[in-house]
Each structure stands twice: as C-alpha cells, then as structure tokens.
A and B are shown apart, each in its own frame.
Chain A
Amino acid sequence: MNTLDKSSNKIDYKGEGFKTKNLFNVIYVEEAAFKYPITKEVLDKYCNLQVITIRHYKDVFNRTNQHFQIQKQYQSLILAVKDKPFLYEGPQVCQNFGYPNFYYTSFLLNCIFDCGYCYLQGMYNSANIVAFVNVEDFKNSIEQESLKKPVFLAVSYDTDLIGFYNIIPYIDYFYGFFKMHPALTVEIRTKSGNQSFYKTHTALDNIVIAFTLSPQEIIEKYEKNTPPLKTRIKAIKTALDQGFKVRICLDPVFINPVADHLYEPFYEYVFSEINANKILDLSFGFFRMSKEFFKRIKKQSEYSDLFLDEYCLNENVISYPKEYQNNIMTRHYQILTNYMKKEKIFSL
C-alpha cells in the first residue's frame, strides 16, 4: 500500500515499484500561486523542503540548458497558475475511442515515473514536474466546452495523475465536478498501483480508468519507477470490484525479436487474472513518436537504446514500418480476440 509520511516528506511505494526518500529536490512556487489552497497543502506536507519563489514557471521549466536525465533523478516540483488554454484538441497519435469531440487537459506537466520511451523527454526541456494549482479555472473551461456537446476528455496525458495521487489528489478535487457533468467522459490513464481513489470513491459512469500494461520484462527494461505488472493487476481488480469502468491500454507495443516472444504469455497471464468480460475496451498501439520529439531525444546525451532501432517516418510520426505493424498486429489480435470481441479493441 502507498504510505505517505506527511511530516517527513518520505513517500514509500512499497511493492509498487517506486521508492525514494526525498521525493523532490526543491519546490519552486510562482508568486501568483501562493494564494491557492493546493499550494498551501503541498507546502504544509513538504514543509522541510526548500521553497524558491519564482515569477513564472516557464523561467525555470523552459531553461534551455537542463540535463533531462540527471534532473529526472533530482526532480523538483513547480507550483504554478495555468493560463489559457486549459483544453487542447486530442492529438492524432492518440486513440479517441469513437468520440468526435476529443480533448485533453494537463493539470500536471511531467511525471514521477521514468519510462525510457516517454515522449515527454522530447517535449519538454525539463524533467521537473509542474503542478497547476488553479483547479477552478480548469473546471470553468471544461464546463464551457462540455455544455456545448458531449466531450471525451483525457486528463492524464503528459503525466500519471493516479501515480501523483499521494502528492496532489487532483482526481479528488475534480470528482464532484465530473459527477455533475455526465456528458463529459473522462479517461484517467495510469500505470500506478495506488488503489486509494477506487477504495474511497463511488464509481461514476463517466469515469474510465485506463491501465497501461506491459510484459514484466518490458516494465523492468523501459518503465523505470513504475509498479510491476502484478501490482497493476491488483489495482485493476480493486477498481473493477468497486464498479469502475476499466480500459486496458497495450501501448506502446514493441516489435523486436526479444519483445515478440513476450506478448503471448503476457496476454495469457493478464486474462487469467482479469475477467475480460468486465473490461470496457482495450486500446492497442505500437511504439510511435512525433519526428520532432524523437529527434530532440536523440540529441540528448543519454537516451534509451530503443531510439537506436530502425523506424519509418510516416506523416511526421516515427514508428515501425507499416508491413511489420500489420503482421504483428494480426498475430496479437489473434490472441486478444480469444478473450475479447474485436469491436472492443481499438487501435490506431
């Protein structure tokens, strides 16, 4: 179970793949952020951490000479006030699950986990985490959009909100709001094993918890600081038991001679543990990244060996050649459709 020792700033994710003594190096706080309740809560919780006042989060976050990988080991938290826009159109490389009005929003920039394949390394100059404290402004903006039409809103892109739950429980702050807006379908994507939210909140019809799963070997190699597969499965079971809608995301799937052997036993294991009939749907996607992010990651001095593989460029997205994808996808679908109807499997 996740335990947070509030007085000592030590977080202990025993058995959940993440363990560190000093969670943050320092906390930067925007001058304008001090007046918000979240800021006060965070500063009370981490009262022994150095606080540095800043004018604007971009002064720290956008510096051009940050070493992403070293900073990742000494992450700082930046508390900031978000300015417009609060909603972004869903990106092309992400699945919209059939919803025409697909948006995403980011309460957090960056993540406590450290996946070698993560596009955030190419998207931001910094590995520090920005947490926006003006939740009411987010709500107003989301409300305006969702009153006009039904909206599919991804709230845990560019981060892992449930992984961050013990630091700032954003989903608690938004739970009532989501409850009041049934036309809003919210997806919370996570690799976390933290079960607190599912245990303390009643499931809502318009909240989907999307668990990203990978074979344990892939987790160990490329998903640093994330919980092991077993722990994620446990969290899925709890979420299902509590009545939450659960999506499984098999994303990113890798194609290489080693990875190819891992998926069949992995699927068998997952569906021997989880009743596939209870799963809302499944999303499937191969490793892919925008050309710009890929290039920026390769410019850094340290990056995962994944970026040394041969890929193809298609419409500005780097991924495996289409014919590989089709072959491998057919094989994966053959196995997956043993457990789940094809209509419930979404792929890009």
Chain B
Amino acid sequence: MEYIDMHAHMVSRTTDDYHQMALTGCVAVTEPAFWAGFDRGSADAFEDYFRQLTEFEPNRAAQHGIRHYTWLCLNPKEGENRELAKEVIERIPKFLDRPTVLGIGEIGVNRVTRNEIATFHDHVQLAIEHNQLIHIHTPHLEDKYKGTRLIVDALLQYPEIDPQRVMVDHAEEHTIEMILENGFWTGLTLYPQTKVTAERAIDLLERYGLDRICAASACDWGHSVPTAVPELILALRRRGHTNELIRRVVYENPIGFLGQSPKFDLLPRSAPGRSARSSEAPVEVGV
C-alpha cells in the first residue's frame, strides 16, 4: 500500500533505508530540521544543514521514486541558545522559496525552559510573517504533558494562526485530546520504546477517529524504524481494519495536511508539477 511518512530524519539514515521504504510503498517523506545529537557550533553549520535538506536529500530520495519535502528551523534541543537561535532565524527566509520547503519545523520545546519558549515564539512569528505551515515537536517522556500544554496555550495567543495549518506532533494518550480539541492536526510517532507503538497508535485512532491524525516513523539516528508506517499498516490489518481506513491514515490524511502547501505534489520529480491541495481529491502517484 502507498504511504507517506510525515516525519523522517533521512539525513541520519542510509540509502538502504530509502530502498526499504520504497519497497514497502513509501511515495513521499517530509523531513523536519532537528538536532544532530550534538550542538551545532554556528549559524553557518545550520546553513549547510539546510542545503543538505533542500539540495542533497530530495535527489537521494528521487532515486527511489520518493518525494522529499522539508521543514526548516533551529530545533528545540538547541533552542536554549538565544543568540544562535536569532542568528539562524534571520537566515531561514532565504531558503523558504525553495521548491521542497513546506514550512517551519520541527519547532517546540525540549525541557520546557524560558529560553526554549522564547525561541519557539520567534519561530512562530517567522512562520506567520511568511505565511508558512508549522510543524511542532512536543517533548519527550515526563516533559511531554507540560510542554504540549504550554505549546498549545502559546499558539492560541496568535489570532493569525489557523490551527488547521499546524501539526502538533508526537501525541500520546495524555496529550492528544488538547491538540485535537483546539483544531490542530496531530501525529502519532511509531517508536519501539518511547512515544507510541503501532498497537497504541491504533487504540488512539479507534478512540478519537481519523480526522486530523497522521502517523510517522520519525526515524532518526536513535532507536527508530524507517519502515514503522508499513508496520502500522500490518498491525491495522491484524486488528481487522479495512484497506479504506488504512489508506486514509497513511496516505489521504497526510495529503490533507501537506496539500495545504501549493508546493506539495506526489508526481515524480521529473514530471511537470500538479498539486494535491485537499483530502477530497487525493492525487494518484504517477507510475
């Protein structure tokens, strides 16, 4: 079955992983900017990373028939450094017109500090100024509830923000309700130990329905599985769900959110672009 992985840090993965994803039906990935596992030393280092995300990765993905899109920001793990954050944020606008940049992300908070929140606000304002979609990281483990609460409350302070254009990612049982009831999109991250397993993701889909919910591998350099979305497809079948329902979760819903960007389409890169603008008219992938 064709699927879209909404959140995959492909710079940390091998070409063999692209191959496995292509074999299991992946037609597109979106890659939010994130932490390299160490703090980058300068704004120049971020620029190089943004070039990797917008130049190198789309080509590597295209070799496997996968569309690659990206989100740019200084990630929450480095958000404590206000000086660097300001410098990086100043440099982001010149990348925003690139053809595969969908918006600002993954922004948010990590340990929920004052500086992280200030950096989060700077990014939100940048997105508003440039009319960008927003992709949000919510914190890990014991910090998730408090961080998600503060993020949702912060977003509600901006009347300019249409919640339908914001994805608040990494939802779990204790945070999904506050995200959905305020009109945002949300993502379920399929991790072996932290975040949610495929079985718990299905429980959440059964409890809350399919509107504005997507799933992703969020594969990166840590314990994660690049084929986690096809594993979810298998688990949904095991639970007895229909192909129609499965396709909505792994394909049509991502198009519903991502299609709000005129840049998003699913045709092969060499073909002239056609946009997938809404979930009512999902675009078939070219052969």
Are A and B associated in one complex? no
A: residues with CB less than 8 A from B are none
B: residues with CB less than 8 A from A are none
